[in-house]
Amino acid sequence: MSRRRPAPLFEVALLAGVLLVFSWAHGAVAHSRAVATANARRLQSIEGFLHLDIEPAANRWLVAHPAFIQPAVYVYRLYYLVPLGVLLWAYLRHTSTYRRVRNTLLAMLILVLPVYWAVPMSPPRFAIPGVVDIIAEHDLFGSTAFRDQGAGQNFTAMPSMHVGWAAWCAYAVWTTLRPTHPRLSLLAWLFPLLMTAVVFTTGNHYVLDVVGTGLLLTAAVIVGHLVSRLTD
């Protein structure tokens, strides 16, 4: 594997380009509330059959424990700082694994877009009666986007990219530190576990969303590994 650090301008341009495409496509997902809600109902039926429909109970728990609400909102809204930090850390300190984890991240962002377009999905806060929209009620930035059911980005519950970004961070840290600090590297997986708890309790995702995220990360790891082998 190459230990030469990629040119910074190339990396910035590559990452910015993919993120711009992802952001545009993410916000332009089909705006049919009826379709997104119908898909959410079908997912809820599957979860009910499998006894996985824990989202209302998780949301009620957070509502009943207000001391945890603000920390949950901070985690949900400021999560992007962690992937940025991990990416910069890998670039500056661990060139030998940087390309692989960067390729995995890019693959994840690209692979998720067809899923969003094929299966628009309303989150529990819109599709399940009684679920409190925690983030909208306590938003750090006073945004109204979370209340707008017509926004395309609110129809992308499947899979959860909040958990996806967190899982990528864990994968990147685990991959990088495992050879020298195998036990310490396992602690990185606490971040996606925390994010999973946050998206359930705030009414933003379903259990099967997180299962979908696991499948997405697995596919992205495979693609990232193949791309790294071809380009290094």
Q: Is residue 123 a contact partner of residue 76, using CB atoms and an 8 Å limit?
A: no
**Section 116-141 average pLDDT:** 89
Quick one: angle between helices 81-93 and 95-118, nearest 10? Answer: 150
pLDDT for res 205: 96
pLDDT in tens, 184-198: 999 999 999 999 999
**Section 199-224 average pLDDT:** 96
pLDDT for res 32: 74
**Section 138-143 average pLDDT:** 69
pLDDT beyond 70 at 150: no
> Tokens 């979370």 label which residue?
146
pLDDT for res 3: 63
**Section 133-147 average pLDDT:** 72
pLDDT in tens, 28-51: 776 678 889 999 999 999 999 999
Q: What share of the chain has pLDDT > 90, as a percent? A: 72
pLDDT for res 168: 97
Q: Model pTM?
A: 0.90
Domain limits of the chain? 34-231
**Section 111-136 average pLDDT:** 92
Q: Is residue 203 a contact partner of residue 55, using CB atoms and an 8 Å limit?
A: yes
How would residue 204 be classed by pLDDT, with cut points 50, 70 and 90? very high
